[in-house]
A and B are shown apart, each in its own frame.
Chain A
Amino acid sequence: MKVLVPVKRVIDYNVKVRVKADQSGVDLANVKMSLNPFDEIGVEEAVRLKEKGKATEVVVVSIGPQQAQEQIRTALAMGADRGILVKADGDVEPLAVAKILKAICEAEKPGLVILGKQAIDDDSNQTGQMLAALLGWPQATFAHTLELGDGSAKVEREIDGGLQTVEIKLPAIVTTDLRLNEPRYASLPNIMKAKKKPIDEKTPADYGVDVTPRLKVLKVSEPPKRQAGIKVKTAAELVDKLKEVGAI
């Protein structure tokens, strides 16, 4: 079974985000970019399925600028087999990404697609679910554990009240939550090997998808800032202060 893993190039999670003075967006100039952490978990899960003999091939797809090739290489160094880069500059909305992925799924016929539950830049949390709907496939979002059976998958999901287990028929969409696995660090030999793995370059037009954004971003602004308050000396003083202001 082939596993498809879509990945996104995003600002590194350690970078402190700065809003541009003209409110047109956040400043991405000279900022460290990385593989979206949830997608990294998706790559790890797919590679583990291959190592366990449950998957035959792991294909990584990224829709983004030419430099998104770096993130595909990272995934290849972790153990994915080949990559597809769909070149698109600027913001591509989740629905457009899902439409491109749908076309790729129709061509590649994976048995499973594993996506991160959200990208840490736009925090949309939509692409996997949208892809599932467009394909008419079932989904298991926010996966905590994933167990592949014969023609189906059993997935434990992180939900508001705890954990929920669902069984979905394959082919299916799974989106990762934080605790599905701990991604490996790629070894130097594997990083070298990854340089020789093939990456196919495409454009959205190859899939007949218009990626023009549909939502109009009017502005991006700083959130209201909180001011640091006062320091208290003892726990008893803390309780007294909280009582004084009616918080308890």
Chain B
Amino acid sequence: MTSLVIAEHDNKVLKDSTAKTVAAAAQLGQPVQVLVAGQDAGAVADAASKLAGVEKVLVADDPIYARMLAEPMEALILSLAPNYDAILAPATTNGKNYMPRVAAKLDVPQISEILSVQSPDTFTRPIYAGNAIQTVQAPSGKKVITVRTTAFKAAEGAGSAAIEKVASAGDQGISKFVGEELSKSERPELPSAKIIISGGRGMQSGENFHLLDKIADKLHAAVGASRAAVDAGFVPNDYQVGQTGKVVAPELYIAVGISGAIQHLAGMKDSKIIAAINKDEEAPIFQVADYGLVADLFKAIPEMDAELTRLGY
């Protein structure tokens, strides 16, 4: 049989999380097909067809899929489910929203946020904010899986899969999209950024995040934040890195004025290199940092900026 990966996209661009989910699906050892549910998402389907290891791309084009609302997505995936024995989605806010509905209707347990595929029916996943790792074996039958995308290397673009249209499964008319308020930024997105600089409560205000913006612009980094900084209203919710925000694993993570609560570490401790600036030398962030600087961030960040300028960044 075959595995089906549900594509993450914004109707224009295929997100990197899809390529990573395809990589996870490939490890199940079966052919992989991708479902693109969206509106006028032809460019997304083209991009998906080029991912290595993808056998076929299915496209469901209907305005009801434009925002991937959970109710129509459930109906669509269920209409295709008989052809597959594993269905995978990235553990984005979309995947987390519609996948459990699919699992419930198929009467199978969902395996959330897998970190690795040990064998076609055995997976590891984080529990207790990543403070423990569970190895679970799925029962026979269909598998419904969400993928912690930072744990997998993206499938690269080498394929040329066929693209096939599939029928819309209709709208139950019980939910509708009203609007959205998306953060606009010229910088890379948090989940795919190679460098992230995050601020915490120590930033003291939203305005002070401009200090981080300057560094981010020089390093082509994304800007993130701890829960404390988001709760204090310094920055919007989509900046949040942590157990309940975004989980990231960039090449370099720079934590500024972040103490390092368990919930925050859960979202960034798999970063390749961690640098931390905090005036409290007892801050737990230093226990995971490769490079620690005990200093007042309001002095250290301008100094860092000056040194970057001196080096030609």
Interface residues of A (CB under 8 A from B): 11, 13, 16-17, 19, 26, 93-95, 98, 117-118, 120-134, 136-142, 144, 154, 157-169, 172, 177-179, 214-223, 226, 228-243, 245, 247-248
Known contacts A178-B227, A215-B139, A219-B135; is A161 also within 8 Å of B183 by CB? yes
List, sorted by A's number, 19 A–B pairs whose CB atoms are closer than 8 Å.
A123-B129, A138-B71, A140-B175, A141-B96, A163-B180, A215-B137, A220-B132, A222-B132, A223-B130, A229-B289, A229-B291, A231-B291, A231-B293, A234-B295, A234-B300, A234-B303, A235-B299, A235-B303, A238-B291
Are A215's CB and B177's CB within 8 A? no
Are B307's CB and A95's CB within 8 A? no
Q: Which residue of B lies closest to A159 (CB)?
A: B93
Query: Which residues of chain B have C-beta atoms less than 8 A from A165's C-beta?
Result: 177-180
Are A239's CB and B307's CB within 8 A? yes
Given the complex of chains A and B, what is the CA–CA distance between A172 and B295 in angstroms?
50
Are A95's CB and B103's CB within 8 A? yes
Q: How far is the CB of B80 from chain A (nearest CB, A)?
A: 16
Segment at the A interface, from B26-34, B49-57, B158-166, B231-239: B231-239
Closest 8 CB pairs of A and B: A229-B290, A129-B100, A235-B303, A133-B101, A130-B104, A126-B100, A165-B178, A138-B175
Are A238's CB and B289's CB within 8 A? no
B212 within 8 A of A: no
Segment at the A interface, from B37-45, B81-89, B110-118, B200-208: B110-118
Tell me the interface secondary structure of chain A in the complex: mixed
Given the complex of chains A and B, what is the CA–CA distance between A163 and B109 in angstroms?
29
Q: Which residue of B lies closest to A216 (CB)?
A: B137
B156 within 8 A of A: no
B186 within 8 A of A: no
Are B292's CB and A214's CB within 8 A? no
B138 within 8 A of A: yes
Are A242's CB and B291's CB within 8 A? yes
Query: Which residues of chain B have C-beta atoms less than 8 A from A134's C-beta?
Result: 104-105
Q: How far is the CB of B253 from chain A (nearest CB, A)?
A: 10
Are A214's CB and B178's CB within 8 A? no
Given the complex of chains A and B, what is the CA–CA distance between A26 and B112 in angstroms?
19
Interface residues of B (CB under 8 A from A): 10, 67, 69-71, 74, 92-94, 96-105, 107-113, 122, 126-139, 172-183, 191, 195, 219, 227, 230-231, 236-238, 243-244, 246, 251-252, 262-263, 269, 272-275, 277, 286-295, 299-301, 303-304, 306-308, 311, 313
Q: How far is the CB of B280 from chain A (nearest CB, A)?
A: 13
Known contacts A162-B180, A166-B178; is A94 also within 8 Å of B308 by CB? no
Q: Which residue of A lies closest to B295 (CB)?
A: A235
Given the complex of chains A and B, what is the CA–CA distance between A236 and B269 in angstroms?
24
Given the complex of chains A and B, what is the CA–CA distance between A11 and B313 in angstroms?
47
Query: Which residues of chain A have C-beta atoms less than 8 A from B304's C-beta?
Result: 235-236, 238-239
Are B127's CB and A168's CB within 8 A? no
